[in-house]
Structure 1
Amino acid sequence: MPSPEAHVQRRYNTKPGSRFPIGATVVAGGVNFCTFCRNATHIELLLYASEESVEPFQTVALTRETNCTFFFWHVFVEELPLRSCYTWRAYGELRVPQMSDEAASRKELLDPHARAVSDRFYSRQQAAAADATAHASLRGIVAEPLDAPDGAIDVRTLDDAIIYELHVGGFTRHQSSGVRHPGTFAGLIEKIPYLKALGVTHVELLPVMAFDEQDVPACAAARGLSNYWGYSTHSFYSPHPRYCVDPARAPQEFRELVDALHAAGIRVLLDVVFNHTSEAGKYGPVIHFKILANEAFYQVDPNDARYYRDYTGCGNTVNCNHPLVSAFILRCLEYWVRELGVDGFRFDLASVFVRGEQGELLRTPSLPWAMEASPVLARVPLIAEAWDAGGLYHVGAFPGMAWSEWNGRYRDVIRRFVRGDPGIIGEVCTCVAGSADLYQDDGRLPASSINFVTCHDGFTLHDLVSYNVKHNEANGEDNRDGSNDNLSWNCGAEGETGDKAIIGLRFRQARNFMAILLLSQGVPMLLAGDEILRSQRGNNNAFCQDNALSWMNWRLSGDAQNMLRFVREMIALRKRHPSLRRCRFLTGQAESGQRHPDVAWHGERIDAPAWHDSTARFVAFTLAGQAPNEPMLHVLFNMNDDARDAALPVLEHQSWRRVVDTSAEPPRDIAPDIETADLERGACRVEARSVVVLESL
């Protein structure tokens, strides 16, 4: 194909084109373009030579008679080079909420199906204005097509998963990362040896579908802040351009990351945002859907179509159960699995999927079931954040069969327990056992529970044990943003301190959290950086902090190195013990061929758990081995302010050895044999606020 420089010397011939496939598709002889718009009377395709081009070099007029099938608009441009950029412009009764049809017809629209995008000249402010500057829009890039991965899509489960939630940009953007291309997919590839050594099995990437970095409140924008987390998607088919070394190669660069992770034995989950888009509410920018499919794609107020229903807190709500929108979402997800190699998805504010076109709660919503019925998506994990900002809460009740859920109750119960709340031993044991009360009654499995203590949204693990209240002043909203209910404890001082006793207690508490998480049935999820005690200085809503506050600092202090070792060894212990990751719920009965029950619960005395003691902060349990020759485990949690002596189960022809003790100084906090002298008398000393794990010999 000709070089981009040749654009200015010629105009390209066109043909009517085809409505299949939608988007910009490179085929022999040129590029087929197709988009949809029900209300347009005619449409234009604007072609730019490259990302750097200020003006289009050619505008192609499409008419209903020649280039429209139903409400799909299409044209074939002969010999158009790769890397060309393009936008659409629509004319007619467009009915955009905040502007006239004439003003809307001046808007250049991004192709919702673009495989690569450029934000080089984009201005969110201009996109929202009726008198916008010409050509200040997002643009699609004609990208080289991908070869599909070899072989059929195998069935992928989370039974043995250890998920690591990370931000692609923040993981390597700090100058200490030492990578060649910081903040990119390529930079993350260079850190795969670290992930492999840590032992995680899955990475869950915060949004990598192209998003609007300018989507922040005015007070944050005034401080030079930007949308860091990425929950403001505009291009659901395109990897985010800033995460690419070359945005025109976005699909290839993302696939290279996936292939490299797969080669290291690590699978890839995407955090995706189909509950709202970056177009926001009535006064938000016009990017694409507001003109192309406003009343189908969004839930509009039936009493005043100028306004949008907002169950997301972001200005609009995607009308997920409209047939055309459901099809868009399904095809998009299948594309990321089939062509980009993704292994599963986590869905932000997924309870929006349960709402009808008027925002009502649907008894049998079509979209979640359609995902499970998809021949492609049925083979990969689907994880719901099972709530939305409008009050729906579906933890334990998300519609469908095989869905997993972020278990918000697990997070809250374990936070309360470790900070020292008494009288919740029954809740703790239920959570540690896999939350059968939430998932077993409708045939779900322990892997339905995604267990976590921290995630991107909220305190980091370091801050959870260092702050009683949020400190979000840097966000510019006078500390009003972010959750006020953190269930945290600062261990005696707010924030940074030189008190060695407090620092030591915080380190112990962090190990307690990590130990309990990795000793629980279900699927553990770790927040990137918790293994090295990364701090955000008490900011529990760092969505706009694309700076060192959020980035991974690879210069490790002594405590960070010790924590990293502890987490690595806890992950290794979990992997050595199939009894910690059972595929079925615990019963308290001996399995076939086993002498011991799969689990036995205890207090300070054997078989005497303090289920109903309102002052209790101690519990223990014994797990029988599941695999042949797997040792038994005896686990003790003491969140009291004093040490306790707990009786031990009697073993025939065996003894116990201590392999974890979070009260011990590193490296004795986790080792093959920490101490056995006290165990020989049939009891175990459990220091204040500590976790002990014993293994049978």
Structure 2
Amino acid sequence: MQLPSTTHSAVTPAFALGPSSTPDPVAFKVEAGSPHPLGPTIDDLGVNFSIYSEHATSVELLLFRNHDDRQPCQIIQLDPAVNKSFHLWHAYVCGLKPGFFYAYRVDGPQEVHNGHRFQPSKVLIDPYARGISKAVWNRGDACGDKDNLETSLRCAIVHDNYDWEDDKPLNQPTEELVIYEMHVGGFTKSDSSGVAYPGTFRGVIEKIPYLQELGINAVELLPVFEYDDVEVLRTVDGSPKTNYWGYSTMAFFAPHSSYCESPSTGQHVHEFCDMVKALHKAGISVILDVVFNHTDEGNHMGPTYSFKGIDNSTYYHLVPGQEQYYNDFSGCGNTLRCNHPVGEKFIVDCLEYWVETMHVDGFRFDEASVLTRGEGGVPLEKPPLIWNVELSDKLSQTKMIAEAWDAAGLYQVGYFPGERWAEWNGKFRDDVRDFVKGEPGQLGSIAKRLAGSADLYQSRSHEPVNSVNFINCHDGFTMNDLVSYNGKHNGANGEGNRDGVNDNASWNCGWEGATTDAAVEQLRERQIKNFATILMVSQGVPMFVAGDEHRRTQKGNNNAYCQDNELNWVDWNLLDQEQSMFRFWKRVIAFRKQHQSLHRARYFTGDVNQRGIADIAWHGPEINQPGWHDPCGRALALTLGGFDAEDDLHIMLNMHWEELAFELPCVAGRTWRQAINTALPSPEDICEYGKEVSIANEKTFHVSGRSIAVLVSK
């Protein structure tokens, strides 16, 4: 829609070209424009630009014909008397079309001791840009005082008029989700992936049939907002180390250009939307891992290319009395002022854009506890941002998942603000690892995790869906490495093995690292199946990491943030080698979906079914004797009553190293049949639905050491 002409007043464009420039100068007609909405707004007759800066005294808009032009084809000096409304600087450029690129220069007080870092020598990107080009980007030139015009980032003018057909966010019930954490690049970047477009959004599309076969119904994508994957952090044995994970965002509205097949043509939005639409057609929700706790501009020594140069003191937490320095609650050099009105609006606008325009289904918030901090970093009881997101009508059906801690020690698992926010349940991870490793006296803890962590959530009227259960994630060991290494092996990162956590609660099953010992390998396979089974029979929302289903390894590296190579990429050759493990994961995911009692929306109430079986009952090897206070206890059993003609389930977990005999409850009119037994080789370890195996003895069942058995009543 064209902006009302009554709000436009002509300004005189300036344009200058250096000797190395290739574009011809142009002079688009420029009008006053509108202060809202922020960012670029395209209509049939041109583009409106609007940017917020409270303390700026001068703003220039630079236009580039091509993504790699060293010089702009037009420079537009914004007139404060015409192109400024309160703290919003704006202009309407008549005739400008998608395919051009743009950036800003902003001037103002150069008083770092007061928190102002205006540098007119630096070219800045729009925080609301829909696409970014890094074709000529040099990070070092964005530091210091030198002019960086010829090596700066450029914003793409991108049309978001995508043809969604009949697509919309899936709005799947949260309790039915099985989440697959995945790195877009690493999922298909290996030659072994066999895709036509490796390491891209289109590469993910090519692997959708695999995801459908596995049975997951949600992908949680590591950061897909634009980040700097060009800067070399260090070189180790001739191998450059870069930001692979993507947890330092440059542009929050822009899909990562390296995940696009043709970023130079400004197809960022369309390629991302193609992926989302294809996943939705396959019944797979798209959850984005988002990083609003900090930006890629770093600390006082970092580059200036966006917020720093636009209005540093508005967007960042600064050290009181020493405003030249940044409060670093994120552990990454700076911290966004998420609960400042401008920062809050920016984040909500961003989330609503990705839901309304890009059709994503949810978000996982990195170091979300930062988002609860107010002025001075003080945690707020009712942080405005959290509740604005919670109550937004546009986000009402969107999944919100918090990593409920930050690098400054704020830990909010079980009491993160808000009502419908789910949390990465770190207690689940820790307690399950300890139990499966064989730590004694963990029965009470593991029972709480199996039952949906009511101890953490129920008192606040939350439900099992507030708990996202995981045993591992991108940050740490793969599941294979969790059972293969006692300690981290991060030497390849070039930090002297000092990076990464030291306490992994892992156990190598008797040998550190890869081995040809058949007994050790058999135990490791069993332990992985134990982890998978506990994850899928626990109340809450399960999440696991891409490649765990075929034993992907990082060779003991528990902090592979800088490894854009085979160490991190999914090795699809393993799928052929580990077909039995892949089969187990497929079947245990299907088993969860087939039994409503494993993914309840509400906590247990004590209801009893028509066969006299309670919705949940706890046992040990002896019926009704769970041994809660046994300091040596390593065995637990539970019975889940089925309702509405569903099967009853009896789950026996023996993490002792010796076989134990478990008494079985009597079910009137039914018999127990074996569905899962992690001690058995494939395919006996897990049965297809309806093909469960009869058991010889209806009174006791022998569970091998370090294994889990699940029975169903028929």
Large movers: runs of 4+ above 3 Å? 94-102, 147-157, 214-223, 672-678
Q: Which AA in structure 2 matches 1:453? A: I
Q: Secondary structure at the match of 1:106?
A: coil
Given that 1:656 and 1:679 are in contact with CA atoms closer than 8 Å, whether structure 2 keeps it comes out as no
Within the candidate set 433, 436, 456, 2:451 is matched to 433
Name 1:140's counterpart in structure 2. Answer: 155
Please give the alpha-carbon distance, in whole angstroms, between the structure 2 residues aligned to 1:288 and 1:142. Answer: 17
The aligned counterpart of 1:446 is: 464
Q: Does 1:25 find its partner at 2:72?
A: no
Q: Any residues of structure 2 matched to 1:435-474 within 5 Å, and which?
A: 435-474=453-492
The question of 1:119 aligning with 2:134 is answered yes
2:539 maps to 521
Find the counterpart in structure 1 of residue 211 from structure 2: 195
Query: Using the alignment, how far apart are the partners of 2:317 and 2:57 within structure 1?
Result: 24
For residue 483 of structure 1, what is the aligned residue in structure 2? 501
Gap runs ≥5 in structure 2: 1-20
Letter in 1 for 2:498: R
**Contact 1:219–1:477, Cα closer than 8 Å, also in 2:** no
Q: 1:250 aligned to 252, 260, 268, which one?
A: 268
What is aligned with 1:691?
708
- Could you tell me how far apart the structure 2 residues matched to 1:39 and 1:220 are? 43
d(CA) in 2 for partners of 1:358, 1:154: 39
Kindly state the Cα deviation for residue 562 of structure 1 after the two structures are TM-superposed: 0.9
> Quick one: which of 230, 235, 239 aligns to 2:251?
235
CA positional deviation for 1:378: 2.0
After superposition, where does 1:597-636 map in structure 2 within 5 Å? Answer: 597-626=614-643, 628-636=644-652
Q: 372-381 or 469-478, which moves further after superposition?
A: 372-381
CA contact (8 A) 1:562 1:667 kept: yes
| Residue number in structure 1 paired with 2:594 | 576
Deviations 1:383-406 (A, max 9, x none): 000000001000000011111000
Q: CA deviation at 1:174?
A: 0.4
**Deviation readout 1:430-470 (Å, 9 max, x if unpaired):** 10000001110011010000000010000000000000000
> What code does the residue aligned with 2:199 have?
G
Equivalent pair of 1:46/1:88 in contact (CA under 8 Å) = yes
* Contact map agreement 2:654 2:704 (CA 8 A) in 1: yes
Distance 1:100 1:419, change over 3 A: closer
What letter is aligned with 1:508? Answer: R
Using the alignment, how far apart are the partners of 2:238 and 2:580 within structure 1? 40
SS at match of 1:311: coil
Q: 1:303 to 1:78 in 2, by over 3 A?
A: same
Change (3 A) 1:219 1:151: closer
Of 413, 427, 432, 2:431 maps to 413
- Give the Cα separation in 2 of the matches to 1:100 and 1:514: 51
Q: Who is 1:374 aligned against?
A: 392
Whether the 8 Å contact between 1:55 and 1:135 is mirrored in structure 2 is yes
Matched, 1:264 2:279: no
Stretches of structure 1 that go unaligned for 5 or more consecutive residues are: none
SS of the counterpart of 2:82? helix
Q: Residues 495, 662 of structure 1: CA spacing in aligned structure 2 closer, same or farther, 3 A cutoff? A: same
Taking the TM superposition and a 5 Å limit, the aligned residue runs for 1:635-650 are 635-650=651-666
Q: Give the TM-score of the pair, scaled to structure 2.
A: 0.93
User: Is 1:91 the counterpart of 2:107 in the alignment?
Assistant: yes
Deviations 1:466-503 (A, max 9, x none): 00000000000000000101000000000011111001
Q: Which amino acid aligns with 1:344?
A: G
- Equivalent residue, structure 1, for 2:526: 508
1: CA distance, partners of 2:244 / 2:393:
34
Structure 1 residue 193 displacement after superposition:
0.7
Return the TM-score normalized by structure 1. Answer: 0.96
- Are residue 325 (structure 1) and residue 343 (structure 2) matched? yes
Residue 640 to residue 156, structure 1, CA distance change in 2 (3 Å): same
2:410 aligns to what? Answer: 392
Distance 1:487 1:398, change over 3 A: same
Equivalence map 1:168-317=2 (5 Å):
168-214=184-230, 217-218=233-234, 223-247=239-263, 248-317=266-335
Which letter does structure 1 place at the counterpart of 2:605? T
**Local SS of the residue matching 2:267:** helix
Tell me the CA shift for residue 151 of structure 1: 8.2
Call closer, same or farther: CA 1:221–1:557 in 2, change over 3 Å: closer
User: What CA deviation, in whole Å up to 9, does each residue of 1:230-278 have, x standing for no partner?
Assistant: 0000111010000111221111111111111110111111100000000
Taking the aligned partners of 1:577 and 1:74, their CA distance within structure 2 comes to 56
- Whether contact under 8 Å (1:148, 1:338) holds in the other structure is no
Q: Does the 8 Å contact 1:220/1:226 carry over to 2?
A: no
SS at match of 2:579: helix
Alpha-carbon offset, residue 227 of structure 1: 0.5
Give aligned-pair identity as a percent.
46
* Contact kept? 2:248, 2:294, Cα under 8 Å: yes
8 Å contact from structure 1 (residues 96, 291) kept in 2: no
CA contact (8 A) 2:279 2:286 kept: yes
Distance 2:484 2:259 in 1: 32
Which amino acid in the other structure matches residue 82 of structure 2?
Answer: T
The letter of the residue matching 1:576 is Q
Paired position in structure 2 for 1:336: 354
Instruction: Report how many aligned residue pairs link the two structures.
Output: 689
1:61 corresponds to which residue? 77
Partner secondary structure for residue 106 of structure 2: strand
Instruction: Please provide the CA RMSD for this pair.
Output: 2.0
